[in-house]
Structure 1
Amino acid sequence: MSLLDLKLTPQRPYGGTGILKQFYNGILPDEVFKQACRSYALQVYNGLLQSSGAKIVIDKSPRYYYALEFIDSLFPHARRIGLIRNPLSIIASYKKVNDRGGEPSDLAADLWDPRFNIKIADITVGLFRYLNYFKGDSPYAYRLYYERLVTAPRDEMMKLCRFLGIAYEEGLERYGNYMDTAKAGLYFSMGVGDPYVNGHKEAHQDSVDSWRETLSKEEIEGYCRVIGAQVFHDLGYGEQLQEAERLTGVQFELEPNRELMQLRTRQLEEATGCKWEDSYGLCSDAPSGLPSEPAEDGLGQGIDPHVLQLQITLRSLEMRLEKSYASQAQLRSQLDNMKAKINRVKSMIPFGNRLSHWATHYLIGGKK
């Protein structure tokens, strides 16, 4: 996400925000930018592997819905693991973690609060981004269901290992046995992840149905109204939806609240500067202009230098033209605002138009 955010060009103490924005968003070709990002990521991940003695690195963040298209363009043949869980259990976990961190929230109120909230975006926009992303079949995607994992951890871990192309190690699912190892120390030193993981040595089922006690009826009803009933059916949680309807006494509409979802999506796009494809799904083929395997030198491979020069010139001119249009629009807006203010003042003064005419005549002619 930090690599993708290079294009946002926030304010820096040394200035140059406008130049950097034009460079990343107008001058530098997208193909070169992506190749550079891929090279950087490979250096970081390979360095992490070498320093830890590991063979595989797993990079996991609930907020990678933010950069799905970008990830696909950098590593089209990477293995993706989608962690799937009952949506009501997800927000129950969200609530528990917030309360533990000293930030208790009123989830029922937050869901409908029109102000931007990244955590609410996670459980609305993010939920549907992942739903669409993992909807189709791909040899590079694996859907791992939380409830199945905690019920039969050994079987599920063996399936996951086969997907990753690695051998299953006996006792892999009893992660508590590895708490004192160097790799576990590296993980816990980062201060990230589930704060409750230390309380157990292996997968357990205590949290499968905890949403019933953790969430109030108002929170259950509010969230189901926002995301709609269809998402429960699509993910395979129809029974949990029926239980939520029994608890609340409400039969929920199939479709999500479109107005609220559009608001959350627009807020997130405005806050991040990102524009996403509608209903984006996993793309496992290398995009045009990008090799399927990392390039040796990392930059510029396969790009004709004459074409590159023309692209840079064209995009630079486009940026200047856009800037010119933006300046004109800003001046036009200021002019319209000033005219509106003058007309409002005139309407408040008796004989305003006549007085204005006299004043103008006096100022121009120098006469009383």
Structure 2
Amino acid sequence: MIDSKGNNLIFLLSTPRSGSSLATVMLQNHRKIFAAQEMWFLMSLYDLHLAPQRPYGGKEIVKQFFNGVLPYDTYIRACKSFALQTYNGLLQSSGEAEMVVDKSPRYYYVLEFLDALFPQSKRIWLIRNPLAVISSYKKVNRHTGDRFQLKEDLLSPKFNIKMADITIGLLRYCNYFAKENPHSYRLYYEKMVTSPQEELLKLCGFLGITYEEGLEKYGNFMDTSKSDLYFSMGVGDPFVGRHTEPHPDSLHIWKEVLDKEEIEMYCRVLGAELFHELGYSEELAEAERITGVRFESKPDEELLQLRTRQLAEAAGCRWIENYRMSADFDQADDNLDLAELPTGDDAVHPQVLQLQITLRSLEKRLEKSHNEQIRLRTKLDHITRKIDRAKAKIPFGNHLYQWASAYLNK
């Protein structure tokens, strides 16, 4: 079972199209592991306090409740309780499984939230050559009919979630996993498909379970209830089910799927340094040979800032800049704001809770009063400018204004 700190909970984190479906379809064959296709539900929990637009209205009321009445630590506890009930309910329905794998590629959106809820969960970072990722995007979206137009959308000022995935999503994971951590593990897609048994053996060691023979040959498990559930969800890579075990056929396909302009655009945006840090120096050298371009070390910071701002505006999220995983929440990195993400297990004292609610209410009133002052001051300045313009157009306008004022004040 999963406890309140997140023991026995595994997050498989990556950008979309990095091979997470393949990793999951192998891991879920282990008798101690339950893994569905994708869950995403923690993002919905996180979004509750952002009060997104709902068809029944009341956005400002809901926002006031979550941000003005309900203390944030109470909200975190409620989210944790819901998540625990969900994960453990899945375990209870899965037979002898003891661990849950939550594979949700866009969890880069809620990394601070993950640490707040389950600081001792295991987090696997699945890494793949970024050029192979966008070639997979292009290939799969061509197959499914979805839009993926790198040339049109990568540098476009319009927001596109897929462009956010392959830029700020990737860099968020790079920052998050920058330091070695006892709760984190780096799994490389290329090694997973060329030496699956060896990589699964090491991964099982990290998870604290014994490797079971034949996990990587997922075709042998097609008739099991776990496999039926996995493939019935219909999300993830549509090509996984066409094979029975990992294969290296797609390792270098990016050279065929991407043209020179796409390769150059994406490498310029990410910068050469990222390829070196991830271990893809040879692939970068090949990209430079194909394009005839020597790429700058640093990424396109202006574009990354634009994408970050766009996602924040679209979703209302707030991120800690350059956020890194904390080994334990009680001993978090200095860049983690403990006031924003409390997670203690002790119940909040009723008097403390009342004071917190009162304080939040007063803060909101002060904020509202301050905003009203700004509004009225702006309106006053606008009216004053109109009067000044009117006086300037009237001969002897200033004298007339002074005479009228003096007469009215008698």
1:353 aligned residue: 393
Structure 2: which 5+ residue stretches go unaligned? 1-42, 331-337, 405-410
1:94 aligned residue: 137
Paired with 1:120 and 1:100, the residues of 2 have a C-alpha distance of 19
The answer to whether structure 1 residue 321 and structure 2 residue 366 are counterparts is yes
- Amino acid of the residue matched to residue 317 of structure 1? L
| Of 160, 168, 171, the match for 1:117 | 160
- The structural deviation recorded for 1:203 is 0.6
The answer to whether structure 1 residue 243 and structure 2 residue 290 are counterparts is no
Residues 53 and 59 in structure 2, CA contact (< 8 A), matched pair in contact too: yes
327-336 vs 72-81, which deviates more? Answer: 327-336
The answer to whether structure 1 residue 212 and structure 2 residue 255 are counterparts is yes
1:36-55 map, 5 Å: 36-53=78-95, 54-55=97-98
- Spell out, residue by residue over 1:288-310, the C-alpha distance to the aligned partner (whole angstroms, 9 max, x if none): 6534xxx5xxxxx3423222211
Residues 84 and 146 in structure 1, CA contact (< 8 A), matched pair in contact too: yes
CA 1:327–1:166: 2 relative to 1, 3 Å: same
Residues 108 and 223 in structure 1, CA contact (< 8 A), matched pair in contact too: no
1:290 aligned residue: 343
1:197 aligned residue: 240
Paired with 1:153 and 1:68, the residues of 2 have a C-alpha distance of 28
164-173 vs 26-35, which deviates more? Answer: 26-35
- Amino acid of the residue matched to residue 118 of structure 1? I
- The structural deviation recorded for 1:337 is 6.5
CA 1:356–1:225: 2 relative to 1, 3 Å: farther
- The structural deviation recorded for 1:155 is 0.4
Residues 68 and 360 in structure 2, CA contact (< 8 A), matched pair in contact too: yes
1:298 aligned residue: none
Paired with 2:325 and 2:233, the residues of 1 have a C-alpha distance of 29
Residue 278 of structure 1 aligns to a residue whose secondary structure is: coil
- Amino acid of the residue matched to residue 170 of structure 2? L
Residues 77 and 285 in structure 1, CA contact (< 8 A), matched pair in contact too: yes
Residue 187 of structure 2 aligns to a residue whose secondary structure is: strand
Residue 112 of structure 1 aligns to a residue whose secondary structure is: coil
1:56 aligned residue: 99
Calculate percent identity across the aligned residue pairs.
59
The answer to whether structure 1 residue 308 and structure 2 residue 348 are counterparts is no
2:28 aligned residue: none
CA 1:354–1:329: 2 relative to 1, 3 Å: same
- The structural deviation recorded for 1:199 is 1.2
Residues 52 and 315 in structure 2, CA contact (< 8 A), matched pair in contact too: no
Paired with 1:317 and 1:91, the residues of 2 have a C-alpha distance of 49
The answer to whether structure 1 residue 179 and structure 2 residue 219 are counterparts is no
CA 1:330–1:212: 2 relative to 1, 3 Å: farther
| Of 52, 68, 90, the match for 1:10 | 52
- Spell out, residue by residue over 1:269-315, the C-alpha distance to the aligned partner (whole angstroms, 9 max, x if none): 11111111111111121246534xxx5xxxxx342322221111111
Residues 80 and 117 in structure 2, CA contact (< 8 A), matched pair in contact too: yes
- The structural deviation recorded for 1:331 is 4.9
Paired with 2:68 and 2:139, the residues of 1 have a C-alpha distance of 44
- The structural deviation recorded for 1:135 is 1.2
Provide TM-score, normalisation by structure 2: 0.79
Paired with 2:241 and 2:395, the residues of 1 have a C-alpha distance of 79
* CA RMSD in angstroms, aligned pairs only: 2.5
CA 1:77–1:335: 2 relative to 1, 3 Å: same
CA 1:337–1:245: 2 relative to 1, 3 Å: farther
CA 1:133–1:273: 2 relative to 1, 3 Å: same
- Spell out, residue by residue over 1:61-101, the C-alpha distance to the aligned partner (whole angstroms, 9 max, x if none): 11000000000110000000000011111111111122122
The answer to whether structure 1 residue 22 and structure 2 residue 67 are counterparts is no
Residues 86 and 237 in structure 1, CA contact (< 8 A), matched pair in contact too: yes
Residues 71 and 353 in structure 2, CA contact (< 8 A), matched pair in contact too: yes
CA 1:331–1:97: 2 relative to 1, 3 Å: farther
Residues 228 and 257 in structure 1, CA contact (< 8 A), matched pair in contact too: yes
- The structural deviation recorded for 1:189 is 1.6
- Amino acid of the residue matched to residue 165 of structure 1? G
Paired with 2:49 and 2:118, the residues of 1 have a C-alpha distance of 19
The answer to whether structure 1 residue 33 and structure 2 residue 78 are counterparts is no
Residues 147 and 208 in structure 1, CA contact (< 8 A), matched pair in contact too: yes
2:306 aligned residue: 263
The answer to whether structure 1 residue 234 and structure 2 residue 274 are counterparts is no
Provide TM-score, normalisation by structure 1: 0.88
- Amino acid of the residue matched to residue 326 of structure 1? N
- Spell out, residue by residue over 1:326-352, the C-alpha distance to the aligned partner (whole angstroms, 9 max, x if none): 344445556667778x69xx79xxx98
Residue 201 of structure 1 aligns to a residue whose secondary structure is: coil
Structure 1: which 5+ residue stretches go unaligned? 296-300
Residues 123 and 184 in structure 2, CA contact (< 8 A), matched pair in contact too: yes
Paired with 1:80 and 1:260, the residues of 2 have a C-alpha distance of 28
